[in-house]
C-alpha cells in the first residue's frame, strides 16, 4: 500500500551558513509591508551584491503580504530565498501554517538532483505559532504521486526560533505527530479503490495501531450478519468485497472522559442501484475519508499519550450495483433492532454509520462525534473548503468549533430544525433514510441523531466538501485527499483530556 515519506524537522536558534532554501515572510504592518526572518548579515550581503534589498526584488517578481503567495528569489552566492505572504504582522498559527505550506510546496516542485533542505525563518516564538509553522511545512511537503525525475522533494526542514524553552520542543513534537496522522489519512483517501477496500482498509488500521497502546477488533461479514448489523450488510451486499467494522480502543490509566468517534468508510461509492453519473463517480474513492480521519486521529492520540479514553468505530463497505444490492423501498433492520426504509441507495453512508453509532453508544461514552463525507447538500450550502457541524445542543457544538479553530480547520454550524425529523416518517418502518431534496444535510443529521441515545451528547461533522480537493493545490492543501478532520479531532482530545 503506498505510503508517503515525511521530512525530518528540527529546531534551530539561527539560520545556518548553508540553509538550503531559506523561507522568510512578508507581512502587513502600519508602515507598509515588512520582511520577517531575513538575517541581517544575509540582508546586507544581498543589498551590497544586487544593489537593492530582498523585498524590492521579491515585489518585482510578484511577492506580496497576501496569504498564499510565494515567490523564489535567487540571491548572491547561490542563496535561494522564498518570500511567503503572511498577512497582518500579528500572525495567527493558521496564517503561518498557510504561508509555510505555500512556500514549501513551491520548493518541493523545484528541479533538484537530491532531496532538499528547507530552513524556515519567520521570527516564530509562541508555541502555537511554532506548531503552525511545523505543520505547514510537513503538510506542504506532501505529495501522493511519485515525484517527477526533475523534483527531488524535501528531506529536511529546519525551523528557526529563539524560544529555547521545552514548550518549543513540545510544540514541534505535537505538530509532527499531528501532521503524520493527517498524511496517513491523506494516503488512505488517495489510494485507489482496487487497492483499498474494506478488508485491506481494516488491515491498514491494524498496521497503523501496531506499537501503540490500542486494542483492535474487526468484525468481518459473517460476524456482522450474525450480530445484526443490517446497515453494513445491506450497503456492502452488492460488492464481492465484503464489509468490515473496525474498532480501535485507547483506554489509558486515569482517563476520566470517554470520547467515541464514528467514521464513514465507504471505500468506493457507485451509488448502488441509484447509480451516480460518471463524472460524480470518479472521485468516490474518497468516500471513506471520515473513517480515515477517526482512525488516524485515534492512533495519534494514543501516540501522544493523552489522558482520555477514545474509541474509534470505522464502518467499511463498498457500495456496488449487482444482483445482491439492496433496493430503494427495502426495509432494513439495523443493529439494535430499529427498522429503516431505504429511500435511496446513494444515501448509504448514514446506514453504515447508524450501525456503528448504536454499537458505540452501548459503551455509554461521554461524547459521540461522527465524521463523514455524507451529503452533496452540505457542499452546496458551504462550498468545498468549509465543513458542516450539526449537534443536538450548542454547548457540544461550541466544544467542537473551539477545537476546529485551535486546529485551523473551517467548520460552520448548521441547525437540525424541528421539521427535519418528520420528513423521515415511514409507513412501513420505524423511519425512512431520506427526506425531500430541501435541506438534505440537515435531514441526514436528523437521521443519524436517531441512533444516539438522547442522554449522550452528540455532534456530526459533514466533511463532504473539504475532504477531497479536485482542483489545484493551495497553501498546505494538496490535490486529492486532504486529511480534513484529523487536526480537529486531536485538538478536541487535547481539550477534553484531564
3-state class percentages of the chain: helix first, strand second, coil last, to nearest 5 = 35, 25, 40
Range list of H helices, 191-320: 198-209, 221-227, 230-236, 278-281, 289-304
Instruction: Give dist(CA 478, CA 105) in Å, integer.
Output: 9
CA distances (Å), origin 168, targets 13, 128, 134, 434: 11, 9, 11, 49
Q: Give me the phi and psi of 31, to 5 degrees please.
A: -90, 5
Is-contact 310 261, C-beta < 8 A? Answer: yes
- Around Cβ 62, how many Cβ atoms within 10 Å? 10
Helix or strand (DSSP H, E) at 353? helix 349-361
Q: Which residues pair with 331 in a beta bridge?
A: 341
182 contacts 467 by C-beta, under 8 angstroms: no
Enumerate residues 6+ apart whose C-beta is below 8 A from 304. Answer: 174, 177, 490
C-alpha to C-alpha distance for 350 and 389, rounded to whole angstroms: 15
Catalytic residues: 276, 350
Residue 251 makes CB contacts below 8 A (sequence gap 6+) with 215, 309
Cα 497 from Cα 44, distance rounded (Å): 49
DSSP-derived 3-state class of residue 442: helix
Nearest to residue 475, comparing CAs of 142, 184, 182, 127? 142
Q: Are 84 and 62 in contact (CB under 8 A)?
A: no
Whole-angstrom CA distances from 391 to 151, 340, 467 are 45, 22, 20
Q: Any idea which residue has 429511500 for its cell?
A: 343
Q: Are 485 and 409 in contact (CB under 8 A)?
A: yes
Q: Find all residues with CB under 8 Å of 489, minimum gap 6, and list them.
A: 261, 293, 294, 297, 298, 301, 369, 371, 403
Contact between 359 and 382 (Cβ < 8 Å): no
Amino acid at each position: 500500500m503506498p505510503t508517503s515519506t515525511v521530512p525530518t524537522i528540527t529546531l534551530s536558534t539561527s539560520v545556518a551558513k548553508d540553509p538550503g532554501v531559506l523561507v522568510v515572510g512578508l507581512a502587513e504592518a502600519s508602515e507598509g509591508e515588512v520582511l520577517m526572518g531575513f538575517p541581517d548579515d544575509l540582508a546586507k550581503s544581498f543589498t551590497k551584491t544586487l544593489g537593492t534589498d530582498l523585498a524590492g526584488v521579491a515585489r518585482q517578481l510578484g511577492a506580496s503580504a497576501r496569504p498564499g503567495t510565494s515567490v523564489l528569489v535567487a540571491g548572491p552566492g547561490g542563496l535561494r530565498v522564498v518570500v511567503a505572504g503572511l498577512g497582518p504582522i500579528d500572525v495567527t498559527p493558521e496564517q503561518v501554517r498557510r504561508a509555510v505550506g505555500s512556500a514549501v510546496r513551491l520548493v518541493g516542485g523545484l528541479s533538484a538532483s537530491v532531496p532538499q533542505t528547507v530552513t524556515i525563518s519567520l521570527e516564530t516564538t509562541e508555541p502555537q505559532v511554532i506548531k503552525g509553522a511545523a505543520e505547514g511545512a510537513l503538510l506542504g511537503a506532501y505529495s501522493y504521486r511519485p515525484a517527477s525525475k526533475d523534483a527531488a522533494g524535501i528531506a529536511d526542514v529546519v525551523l528557526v526560533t529563539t524560544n529555547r524553552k521545552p514548550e518549543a520542543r513540545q510544540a514541534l513534537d505535537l505538530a509532527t505527530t499531528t501532521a503524520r496522522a493527517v498524511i496517513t489519512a491523506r494516503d488512505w483517501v488517495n489510494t485507489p479503490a482496487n487497492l483499498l477496500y474494506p478488508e485491506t482498509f481494516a488491515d491498514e488500521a491494524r498496521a497503523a495501531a501496531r506499537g501503540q497502546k490500542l486494542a483492535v477488533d474487526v468484525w468481518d461479514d459473517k460476524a456482522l450478519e450474525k450480530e445484526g448489523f443490517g446497515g453494513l450488510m445491506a450497503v456492502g451486499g452488492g460488492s464481492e468485497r465484503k464489509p468490515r467494522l473496525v474498532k480501535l480502543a485507547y483506554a489509558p490509566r486515569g482517563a476520566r472522559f470517554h470520547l467515541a468517534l464514528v467514521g464513514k468508510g465507504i471505500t468506493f461509492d457507485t451509488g448502488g442501484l441509484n447509480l451516480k453519473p460518471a463524472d460524480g463517480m470518479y472521485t468516490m474513492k474518497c468516500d471513506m475519508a471520515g473513517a480515515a480521519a477517526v482512525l488516524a486521529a485515534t492512533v495519534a492520540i494514543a501516540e501522544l499519550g493523552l489522558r482520555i479514553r477514545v474509541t474509534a468505530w470505522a464502518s467499511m463497505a463498498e457500495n456496488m450495483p449487482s444482483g445482491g444490492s439492496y433496493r430503494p423501498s427495502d426495509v432494513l433492520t439495523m443493529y439494535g433492532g430499529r427498522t429503516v426504509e431505504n429511500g435511496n441507495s446513494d444515501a448509504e453512508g448514514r446506514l453504515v454509520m447508524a450501525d456503528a453509532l448504536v454499537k458505540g453508544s452501548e459503551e455509554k461514552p461521554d461524547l459521540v462525534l461522527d465524521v463523514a463525507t455524507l451529503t452533496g447538500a452540505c457542499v452546496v450550502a458551504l462550498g468545498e473548503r468549509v465543513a458542516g457541524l450539526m449537534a443536538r445542543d450548542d454547548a457540544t457544538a461550541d466544544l467542537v468549533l473551539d477545537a476546529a479553530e485551535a486546529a485551523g480547520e473551517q467548520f460552520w454550524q448548521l441547525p437540525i430544525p424541528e421539521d427535519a425529523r418528520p420528513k423521515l416518517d415511514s409507513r412501513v418502518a420505524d423511519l425512512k433514510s431520506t427526506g425531500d431534496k430541501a435541506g438534505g444535510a440537515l435531514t441526514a443529521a436528523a437521521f443519524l441523531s436517531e441512533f444516539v441515545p438522547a442522554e449522550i451528547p452528540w455532534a456530526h461533522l459533514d466533511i463532504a466538501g473539504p475532504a477531497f480537493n479536485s482542483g489545484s493545490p493551495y497553501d498546505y492543501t494538496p490535490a486529492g485527499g486532504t486529511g480534513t478532520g484529523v487536526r480537529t479531532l486531536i485538538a478536541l482530545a487535547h481539550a477534553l483530556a484531564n
